[in-house]
Amino acid sequence: MSKPKETLNPFEIARTQIDRVGKKLNLDGGMLEVLKNPRRELTVHFPVKMDDGKVKVFTGYRVQYNDAIGPFKGGIRYHWNVSLDEVRALACWMTWKCAVMGIPYGGAKGGVICNPKEMSKNELEHMTRRYASEIAIIIGPEKDIPAPDVYTDGQTMAWIMDTISMSKGFAVPGVVTGKPLVIGGSLGRDEATSRGLMYAVREAAKKVKLTLKGATIAVQGFGNVGMHFARLMHDEQGSKIIAVSDSKGGIVSEKGFDPKEVQVFKEKTGSVVGFPGTKPVSNEEILELDVDILAPCALEGVLTSENAPRVKAKIIGEGANGPTTPEADDIFHKRGIVLIPDILANGGGVTVSYFEWVQNLSEFFWTKADVDQKLEGVMVGAFNRVWEMRESKKVDMRQGAYMVAINRVVEAYKWRGIFP
């Protein structure tokens, strides 16, 4: 595959997206600068004693992008490619995501450069606890509330919650979301991002008159988001999942398959590759399959000016953060493909994180039906606000979503003023 000509630096992309919308909203230059810069960035280098007795120094970040609307909120990623610019971009997108969903948070993100696949559980626990104690000075239920992201999960959140609670001397469940149920997690949080994505895709399908029953779907990234999305579309909408992939490669079958069986297979073998009755497909090819719906649910920068002309899906639902470059956005818009942008499409995760935090603070827990029903209300409301903006301003969905989000953050600044 030839290389795209545009930048794949996620923070440059995030800033281009703000510039594009800033111009359309006639934003004042000073305000534009405020929106294009993170408020606070913490870099930490910390030692961890590994299983072989040797000490290894890890580097981690926590970027608090913007808190005009409310406390900072955003996940923590463990990955060998984590960089400050990636964390900045993800923190920036969290700001717009919370604003577009209409929940009272600002945006943040964290990350540690590491290879969790090569670390033992013991090493992961020590690294997590030390990282948590390093960033403890800036996180807390009323300040900044982390959550899981790529290669972190409920166990990671439990260790962070415990580390912070130990230093306070009492349990502080509201410091993180995405926790296991028994220590204050919310019902429905595991699948919330994917359930939200399902609602967003359902609303988009209504607009383009696509029947979801029998519609074909390809999912890149069969992790937390991709796996639950495939399962929900299969079980609740009757759609046909014909391809999924993970970091080792992908599988395709025209007949379709049950994602729950693929999940069981992946748990046993470590990958979706080799699932009986399917053919192999690469992570590049999966994006260009002839399907009705494409859901990139892995990492950023996978849909570019290079492959966008060959994408065949009618609807793209961005389960992942930042999978599409601005140049690819323009191509999809011209080709009439409806792309549901990340800040809207995967906003169900942070929405149920917000519900979890509300339950923690009020010490009153909701049923799964309560959670799902409230999530549906928030998703459909946000989708409609973005769709109306798209129609009235004649822009694509991403710009419509950014307009809704940036208008809210700018309004917050107008009320709060610039101190002093």
**Region from 31-39, 222-230, 365-373, 377-385 binding ligand NAD, contact rule CB under 6 A:** 222-230
Closest to ligand NAD by CB, 297 or 315: 297
Residue 112 CB, nearest approach to ligand NAD (Å): 14
DSSP class of residue 1 equals -
Tokens of 96: 């717009």
Q: Which of 74, 148, 259, 301 binds ligand NAD (CB under 6 A)?
A: 148
- In the complex, the smallest distance separating the C-beta of residue 30 from ligand NAD, rounded to whole angstroms, is 31
Q: Give the 3-state secondary structure of residue 30.
A: helix
Q: E-assigned strands of 54-149?
A: 55-66, 72-79, 107-113, 144-148
Map the footprint of ligand NAD across residues 181-210, applying CB under 6 A.
Answer: 193
Helix orientation angle between 121-135 and 154-168, rounded to the nearest 10 degrees: 50
What strand order describes the sheet that includes 216-220?
279-281, 249-252, 240-246, 216-220, 293-296, 315-317, 338-340
Query: Does 283 contact ligand NAD by CB under 6 A?
Result: yes
Write down the least CB distance from residue 239 to ligand NAD, Å.
19
When the beta carbons of 216 and 224 are compared against ligand NAD, the nearer one is 224
Among 72, 131, 151, 229, binds ligand NAD (CB under 6 A): 151
In a 13 Å sphere around the CA of 403, the CA atoms on its Cβ side amount to 23
Number of residues that bind ligand NAD (CB under 6 A): 24
Report the alpha-carbon distance of residue 243 to residue 171 in Å, rounded: 43
For helices 259-269 and 224-237, angle between their N-to-C axes, nearest 10 degrees: 150
CB of 227 to ligand NAD, least distance (A): 7
Contact call for residue 299 and ligand NAD (CB under 6 A): yes
Name the token pair of 365.
């827990």
Q: Select from 150, 218, 233, 405 the one that contacts ligand NAD (CB under 6 A).
A: 150
Site stretch for ligand NAD (CB under 6 A), options 122-130, 134-142, 244-252, 364-372: 244-252
Q: Should residue 115 be labelled a site residue for ligand NAD when binding is judged by CB under 6 A?
A: no
Q: Is residue 102 left, alpha or beta, with left meaning phi > 0 and alpha meaning psi from -120 to 50?
A: left
Let me know if 121 is a catalytic residue: no
223 binds ligand NAD (CB under 6 A): yes
The DSSP secondary-structure symbol of 382 reads H
Residue choice 149, 203, 285, 288 for contact with ligand NAD (CB under 6 A): 149
Distance of CA 395 to the CA centre of its chain: 23
The binder of ligand NAD chosen from 174, 221, 317, 326 (CB under 6 A): 221
* Residue 50, C-beta contacts closer than 8 angstroms, at least 6 positions apart: 56, 123
Please tell me whether residue 146 binds ligand NAD under the rule CB under 6 A: no
| Binding residues for ligand NAD (CB under 6 A) | 148-151, 193, 220-226, 245-247, 283, 297-299, 319-321, 346, 349
Q: What are the catalytic residues? A: 109
